[in-house]
Amino acid sequence: MDPKEILARLAESGTPSDAESALRLSVGLDDKFTRFENETLPFLAAGGAEIQFIFAPYGRGKTHLLLALKELARRHNFVTAYIDCKTDQSPFVCLRATYRQIAVNMEPPYPSVLTRRSGIEGVIQSHLDQLESPIEHLKKLKEDSHLPSDFRNLVIAYGRSLITPNLTDLRSHLSILLSANAASRVTISFPYRQYPWLPRPLGKLAKRNASTWVRAVSSLPFSLGYAGSIILFDETEKTHAFHKLSWKNRLQYWANLRNLVDHLAIGSFRGCAIFFAVVEEFWELAHQQYQAISQRIERVRFNENLALPNPRAIWVDLNELTNPGPDDSDFFNSLADKIVAVGIEAGLGESKAKSILIKLKSLGRKYSGSIYMGAVREFVKLTASGVLTSL
């Protein structure tokens, strides 16, 4: 991305505009990234699965971390899916909506030769493009007992439609079924009448199979031959709208999350890690409304306030993953260095860059002692704005 565009986005929102920029501008997360590359990704590539809830105050950098993990995973041949949960969305209230969010937001680690299409269709096509014998690969996929037969057959049929000429109509029909496009109505019986060779049964997302399909779409990249998948839910705005949900929907949300944690623990997912970025109130709400999920993510405590440190825990504070952290002026000095370096690429002169960094050094000491929860985001916005106006 153009350096000026990166700075403009930082100045506007305090958050990088893309995953590559997020990784480049990360500060204090070297240990987290090392564990992720050397421990988590190899574990997933061997068929493992895990989940982590990452909490921090608003504006602390949770979205930034998710985007940086997305870029690291992509570089190691993992399919990624970053899901921005807006204030009017709660992804686990309805598992059919959860499936759609994952399927639509999937991105292959490398673009397809024929198309740059993302989503589950792009993931399938990008992989088949790399193979010398895609037909043989699809035959082997049919033997994969870890995927439910209706979902697996749908993937195989879609793959066949990609590599067989003159199947555009069938491909379009199967694409709607794969993405579970709620705006289009399709039937299972129609393609069988025209293409009797299709495997049976072909699947269609419904309430009864939604939970198995969520597990299937998350595990599909591993079954296809990618290293695995990284799914990133950014729920940092969700708490503001959570109380608008009916009591029934709230309970359904917590129950679905509890089942997600349990299924990941017993191996129902393969080659998949799920990261949730949540606000601090998440655990409090869970504890009040559905203790079964809070009990699964609660940290061991010596007393009421002191939890055992564990950066690999299922429930972890972003500050625990960051060294140096925002209470250290070195954190803000390093952040300023990286943003100014983007400015230099955008045309900022060396003398102006040095002048800006001198001012930012004293500002970093001020922000490291700030009690304002959004200090990190405000520092990023202020620094990027200063660099832009100096170009």
Residues 170-179 have pLDDT tens digits of 999 999 999 9
End-to-end CA distance of the chain: 17
Instruction: Spell out the domain ranges in the chain.
Output: 29-321, 329-390
Q: What is the distance between the alpha carbons of residues 274 and 73, in angstroms, rounded to a whole number?
A: 12
Q: Which of 97, 79, 86 is nearest to 218 (CA)?
A: 79
pLDDT tens for residues 259-298? 999 999 999 999 999 999 988 788 888 888 899 999 998 8
Q: Do 180 and 115 form a contact (C-beta atoms < 8 A)? A: no
d(Cα 162, Cα 330) in Å, to the nearest integer? 52
- For tokens 């940290």, the residue is 299
Report the amino acid identity of residue 320.
E
Q: What is the pLDDT along the chain (391 residues), one digit of tens a residue?
A: 899 999 999 999 999 989 999 999 999 999 999 999 999 999 999 999 999 999 988 889 999 999 999 999 999 999 999 998 875 567 788 999 999 999 999 999 986 555 567 899 999 999 998 888 898 889 889 999 899 999 999 999 999 999 988 898 999 999 999 999 877 788 888 888 889 889 999 989 999 999 999 999 999 999 999 999 999 999 866 555 677 778 888 899 999 999 999 999 999 999 999 999 988 788 888 888 899 999 998 887 777 667 777 899 999 999 999 999 999 999 999 999 999 999 999 999 999 999 999 988 888 888 888 877 789 999 999 999 999 999 8
**Residues 227 and 72 sit within 8 Å (Cβ to Cβ):** no
Tell which phi-psi region holds residue 171, choosing left (phi > 0), alpha (psi between -120 and 50) or beta: alpha
Residue type, 104: V
